[in-house]
């Protein structure tokens, strides 16, 4: 018995999605492919268990085994990030992890200072559309004309606005973060310092990106981007802040934890502690450099002129097409990307003047720097010859052939 025989209506789109992931090239910077072991944990009977509370302190009986699972996940998370002191692995997502940190650190109406959404920030860093911008008074810093965070500007805004919480981290910022400098700004104005490393967590764990641990009071992340685990989140805090953070996760912002997802997080953390994970992250960076170099040679303007991490943001402000148009053209040749706002954006978030691309998923399926440069050429060819159906068909055939030579591992 299976979904295929019991529920063909549902099986059809599920199997179509499986095929799409195999056949098409995934360049969305926040997506990746999990291992068979992660999928096994996600599909396990742990989904049947309620376990509000923490290991050894639950509100329900029968938690003796899931307690062990959650302890394994917590211990591995702490081992993965040198300098971390405490962690809660229950947040259902990065957004939930951020909401819990805000609840732990702030009172309603307090000021938070984070990176502006159209400059690479995230909805949960104080967008008026998100609870972080409704419950708190949010102010923002932006990138400078070179597309980089300007610490003098951040310091000036912090001195003027006196934020209670200084948020760092981004969803579309291709450069390193200087957390020591942010710490000095936070100290000067008496702010709590938070890093949202949802995008770069895998690079940080591998020692290939500066670490916020030792500088920040709280660190949040998702577990499914460069970290290559199940969809989910987690939140770290200094040891003396953990009690408040734990209460802010449950009962503050969530109910029962998803124990099957926590088991899958534990699987992913074990995988990330293995030496092969460092090799993988190094290849993610090599591939990003190869793509950035070739895209630049082909005439695309990258925000900040390149990348230090796994992603790049292509500014199409001067192109005769929008981010939305580019996403559609690339989708038609089997290259999946997301349109993205760029600094000084003139279009709506539904249209945009940018495309964000990243290398984590293509690297998981084994593509190397030579392939990454070729992908950049296919990307450029499709956009340059977007009105030539024959050329688009050729690009699509080459994308499918490349993906066929590099099957998704799980
Ligand atoms: N949706 C995530 C991303 O693509 O970066 C952020 O939440």
> What is the residue-level pLDDT of the chain in tens, covering all 410 positions?
699 999 999 999 999 999 999 999 999 999 999 999 999 999 999 999 999 999 999 999 999 999 999 999 999 999 999 999 999 999 999 999 999 999 999 999 999 999 999 999 999 999 999 999 999 999 999 999 999 999 999 999 999 999 999 999 999 999 999 999 999 999 999 999 999 999 999 999 999 999 999 999 999 999 999 999 999 999 999 999 999 999 999 999 999 999 999 999 999 999 999 999 999 999 999 999 999 999 999 999 999 999 999 999 999 999 999 999 999 999 999 999 999 999 999 999 999 999 999 999 999 999 999 999 999 999 999 999 999 999 999 999 999 999 999 999 87
pTM for this predicted structure: 0.97
Residue 223 located in a structural domain: yes
> Cα 252 to chain center, whole Å?
24
State whether 99 and 135 are in the same domain.
yes
State whether 215 and 281 are in the same domain.
no
Residue ending a domain, choose from 241, 272, 303: 272
State whether 95 and 216 are in the same domain.
yes
State whether 60 and 169 are in the same domain.
yes
50 among known catalytic residues: yes
CATH label of the domain that carries residue 97:
3.40.640.10
State whether 320 and 261 are in the same domain.
no
Residue 29 located in a structural domain: no
Residue ending a domain, choose from 239, 272, 305: 272
For residue 307 and ligand 1, the question of a CB distance below 6 A is answered with no
Residue 142 located in a structural domain: yes
Nearest CA to ligand 1 atom 5: 171
State whether 293 and 260 are in the same domain.
no
Tell which residue, 71, 13, 66, 14, has the closest CA to residue 39. 14
For residue 30 and ligand 1, the question of a CB distance below 6 A is answered with yes
State whether 232 and 339 are in the same domain.
no
23 among known catalytic residues: no
Residue ending a domain, choose from 244, 272, 300: 272
Residue written as tokens 């040891």? 239
User: Cβ contacts of residue 149 below 8 Å, gap of 6+?
Assistant: 115, 141, 143, 173, 175, 177
Q: Distance between CA 27 and CA 25 in Å, rounded?
A: 6
Nearest CA to ligand 1 atom 6: 171
Q: Distance between CA 262 and CA 257 in Å, rounded?
A: 8
Cα distances from 288 to residues 35, 225, 348, 356, 370, in angstroms, run 22, 15, 27, 12, 11
Residue written as tokens 């990003």? 288
Q: Domain tally for the chain?
A: 2
State whether 215 and 285 are in the same domain.
no
State whether 62 and 102 are in the same domain.
yes
> Cα 79 to chain center, whole Å?
20
State whether 283 and 142 are in the same domain.
no
Q: Is residue 112 within 8 Å of 120, Cβ to Cβ?
A: no
CATH label of the domain that carries residue 398:
3.90.1150.10
State whether 42 and 127 are in the same domain.
yes
Q: Could you list the residue range(s) of the whole structural domain that residue 300 is in?
A: 276-405
225 among known catalytic residues: yes
The catalytic position among 111, 220, 222, 364 is: 222
State whether 299 and 253 are in the same domain.
no
Beta strands 165-169; 192-196: pairing state: parallel
């Amino acid at each position: 018995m299976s979904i295929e025989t019991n529920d063909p209506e549902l099986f059809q789109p599920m199997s179509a999605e499986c095929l799409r992931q195999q056949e098409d090239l995934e360049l969305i910077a926040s997506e990746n492919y999990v291992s068979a072991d992660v999928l096994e944990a996600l599909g396990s009977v742990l989904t049947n268990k309620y376990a509000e509370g923490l290991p050894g302190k639950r509100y329900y009986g029968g938690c003796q085994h899931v307690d062990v699972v959650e302890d394994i996940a917590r211990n591995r998370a702490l081992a993965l990030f040198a300098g971390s002191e405490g962690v809660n692995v229950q947040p259902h997502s990065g957004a939930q992890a951020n909401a819990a940190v805000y609840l732990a650190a702030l009172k309603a109406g307090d000021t938070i200072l984070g990176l502006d959404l159209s400059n690479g920030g995230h909805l949960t860093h104080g967008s008026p559309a998100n609870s972080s911008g409704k419950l708190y008074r949010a102010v923002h810093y932006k990138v400078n004309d070179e597309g980089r965070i300007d610490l003098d500007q951040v310091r000036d805004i912090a001195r003027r606005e006196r934020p209670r919480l200084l948020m760092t981290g981004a969803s579309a910022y291709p450069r390193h973060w200087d957390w020591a400098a942010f710490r000095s700004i936070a100290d000067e104005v008496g702010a709590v310092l938070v890093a949202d490393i949802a995008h770069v967590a895998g690079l940080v764990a591998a020692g290939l990106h500066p670490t916020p641990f030792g500088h920040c009071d709280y660190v949040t992340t998702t577990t499914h981007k460069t970290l290559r685990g199940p969809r989910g989140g987690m939140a770290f805090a200094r040891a003396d802040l953990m009690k408040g953070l734990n209460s802010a996760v449950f009962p503050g912002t969530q109910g029962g934890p998803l124990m099957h997802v926590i088991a899958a997080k534990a699987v992913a953390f074990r995988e990330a502690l293995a030496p092969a994970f460092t090799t993988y992250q190094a290849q993610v960076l090599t591939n990003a450099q190869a793509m950035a170099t070739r895209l630049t040679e082909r005439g695309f303007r990258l925000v900040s002129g390149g990348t230090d991490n796994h992603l790049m943001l292509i500014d199409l402000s001067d192109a005769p097409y929008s981010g939305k148009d580019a996403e559609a053209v690339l989708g038609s040749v089997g290259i999946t990307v997301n349109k993205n706002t760029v600094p000084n954006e003139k279009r709506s978030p539904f249209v945009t003047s940018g495309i964000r691309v990243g290398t984590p998923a293509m690297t998981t399926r084994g593509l190397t720097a030579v392939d990454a440069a070729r992908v950049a050429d296919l990307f450029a060819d499709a956009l340059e010859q977007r009105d030539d159906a024959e050329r688009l068909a050729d690009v699509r055939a080459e994308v499918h052939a490349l993906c066929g030579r590099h099957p998704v591992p799980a």
